[in-house]
Chain A
């Protein structure tokens, strides 16, 4: 889920808020100007320290697409060594060899680095990451390895028709960085030399507006790690990026068609959707539950995504947000599914949902929301994502209560406002002689 969300992220930049509620689950720690948002879970086996840097897709121009990912990949691959530890190794391997993990995710508004380990291990890991954040390696070998890793990941993503559809719909809906492929393309990655990459890093990897989310076994060790990571970034502020532009949906759906090496056709519908801080967000989650349940065949247990006929990805790490609904053509006839979704959203907009039906989907939506972020990395992202949109760090916690308050009129209004117009991406199996 996080990877998919990361793949459709866009930009919103606001000043990081100070928590207004003394009893808030997330506490704010001052990092000499920057902030750490701390949510403790003493029962967790590990701690996650997630650094958010405003160096995402929104910082790229058309000609720079791929630079955000390339810089982050170079950070992970920067050779590091410590006294007595032998030859230098790529940072990500060095972190693993000392008992932790390091990963990054590119969104429109930010790049985030997730450092995870037992807290007592963090003091050994943090200086290495701090050093690489301050000065990534740009040598030919590291650069080649970074390009290779990104190209492999892009190739993997191309095999998932849902990700392909999301990328098409994002490119159709958004303007600017939010529309770009998060990792760039193999061709664009080859075009950047060390000077381009260094210039991007120097421009956007700055302390101003950077922040950290700490979750799990938090305490002095995670606070010290947060402080060290933020301090590693040069001082200075990055100018606030604009809210992403969007292209209005037309009365008739735009049809975007591509052919890929996939086993079955997929239809992916893209809707405009309320963002996390929007008053309509909770009602949109109820509609999401309704749409996915209405066309799901009965099953004994929860089906894995690959064996579901229909599913959604709600890109609420972007404001404005986008919701994508995919239909697996092997399990649901694409034409039938498309027609049925259209009919259902029209009906939902035309008249209020009966109370029993509304309550059913509110219950379902509330539970699905509570299970949205379970891993430490996802829980840290949930806090950081809210902060990135100028919201309280515990904004996600308030959504469950908001779902309980959703009325039939809310659902009707949101269905009319957001779900009647959409784009359609068709991902068809490649037949002999067809290109992409």
Chain B
């Protein structure tokens, strides 16, 4: 671990290069190949669609949200990525300001075991954005001013998210399912936690996490694959390799969690299959959609006019995945038995007509999640960073491995998967809203 950090710090001082014509010569794929590896070790994928009005450029990294070492700080990866975006690099303009000046949008998203940075820009800004994004992250500059700005933003974000019952409950469920590690720590963090972070630790994290050989670069929408020539790299970058996907050991018996917070509700969580078990992962994606899809999910219809909001989803982590259910609102306690009954019923095969309808709706919603360039980049980035890029849902139903798995589902196979993974006692989280202290979520 220490040796790796030493190498990385030394590498940051090396000159940044722009790939230029080296792309076609050095990429393991060709310059026109939709996927490949660039000379600096950057894994890339390009999904061009010239009819789209915009382009998305995303960098995905394997990195624990709470930090590589030391005391875990939930959401630390978000703070580090935001610090880089807010810091003035050698070339001048901080990335966030540069993208805003193009009329674009820059977002940082942190997940327990990964972090992404996505720029959505007009097509004629792709090369400039790609050059700046890869330059800034592959040799990260972290300034005190950028750090303070990021602390302010990320702290405000976490406070805002803490009022969202679904986010707060899902964040807490990990601590019930896992005794330690990034899924246990969660991603939400707190303003106090971010204030306590130090710039030195941010620097160390950024240098390790954001190195080129740990990067998955996704271009989608109105992009020309030739834009890859704008990708920056640095000498020796490819020698360091990528971080390994994180394997998490779940608790043998989940421990119930009760917390006070800014939102209230109930969470139920189960450990699911790893991403490598495509058939089971697809089955749990399918059943979560059939039960919980807004408006059309069968549980949503059972709830009727009760004052409760219910969500459920399977999260396809590397190993293991997790199935999360949240119930919030005034009638949450009354709705919980209805949800549990529906989940128990899901362990029995669905009637053929209901199954066909659920599958048709599921396929539609999966395709609708690939409508815009940033959605495409997010989907591919996620499956890549979790270690199974080939399984990422793609718009072409006939060729997509994911949709072949969907086509292979049967009522019996889905029921069996539900029985196997959701037929055990779940982890339970209870959030209770603490009395108002005069604060304001927008302040």
Contact = CB atoms under 8 A, between A and B. Distances in A.
A301 B107 contact: yes
A264 B442 contact: yes
Contacts of B105: 302, 371
Contact of A364 (B101, B358, B363): B101
B397 A363 contact: no
Interface in B95-109: 96-97, 99-108
B368 interface: yes
B181 interface: no
A373 B53 contact: yes
A261 interface: no
Most buried by A among B96, B97, B357, B397: B357
Interface stretch (B148-156, B199-207, B227-235, B322-330): B148-156
B97 A298 contact: yes
Interface stretch (A36-44, A197-205, A345-353, A420-428): A36-44
Contacts of B383: none
A376 B364 CA distance: 14
Nearest to B365: A101
Given A307-B156, A307-B442, A370-B54, A44 B371 contact: yes
A153 to B, nearest CB: 12
A328 B442 contact: yes
B278 interface: no
A117 interface: yes
Most buried by B among A92, A289, A367: A367
Given A97-B360, A101-B368, A263-B441, A366 B103 contact: yes
Interface residues of B, number: 60
Contact of A300 (B52, B149, B364): B149
A330 B108 contact: no
Interface in A88-126: 92-93, 96-101, 116-118, 121
A330 B153 CA distance: 15
B149 A298 contact: yes
Nearest to A92: B295
A301 B153 contact: yes
A289 B371 CA distance: 27
A355 interface: no
Contacts of A379: 53
Interface in B267-297: 295-296
A85 B354 CA distance: 10
Given A302-B96, A367-B122, A370-B103, A41 B442 contact: no
A379 B305 CA distance: 34
B190 interface: no
B440 A98 contact: no
A363 B103 contact: yes
Interface stretch (B31-39, B80-88, B171-179, B413-421): B80-88
Most buried by B among A45, A117, A263, A379: A45
A302 B96 CA distance: 7
A86 interface: yes
A331 interface: yes
Most buried by A among B82, B100, B149, B440: B100
A93 B103 contact: no
B224 interface: no
Contacts of A376: 371
A375 interface: yes
A101 B360 CA distance: 11
B101 A360 contact: yes
Contacts of B72: none
A383 B50 CA distance: 18
29 contacts: A43-B47, A43-B395, A44-B49, A45-B367, A45-B368, A45-B395, A99-B361, A121-B360, A148-B305, A299-B149, A300-B96, A300-B108, A300-B149, A301-B96, A302-B99, A302-B107, A306-B160, A330-B440, A330-B443, A364-B101, A367-B104, A367-B121, A367-B122, A368-B103, A369-B103, A370-B54, A371-B120, A374-B372, A379-B53
Interface of B: 47-54, 82-83, 85-86, 94, 96-97, 99-108, 120-123, 125, 146, 149-150, 153-154, 156-157, 160, 295-296, 305, 353, 357-358, 360-361, 363-364, 367-368, 370-373, 395, 397, 440-443
Given A289-B103, A298-B86, 7 more contacts: A298-B149, A299-B153, A300-B85, A300-B94, A301-B107, A302-B99, A371-B121
Q: 8 tightest A-B contacts by CB? A: A367-B103, A43-B49, A99-B360, A45-B395, A97-B357, A330-B442, A41-B51, A300-B86
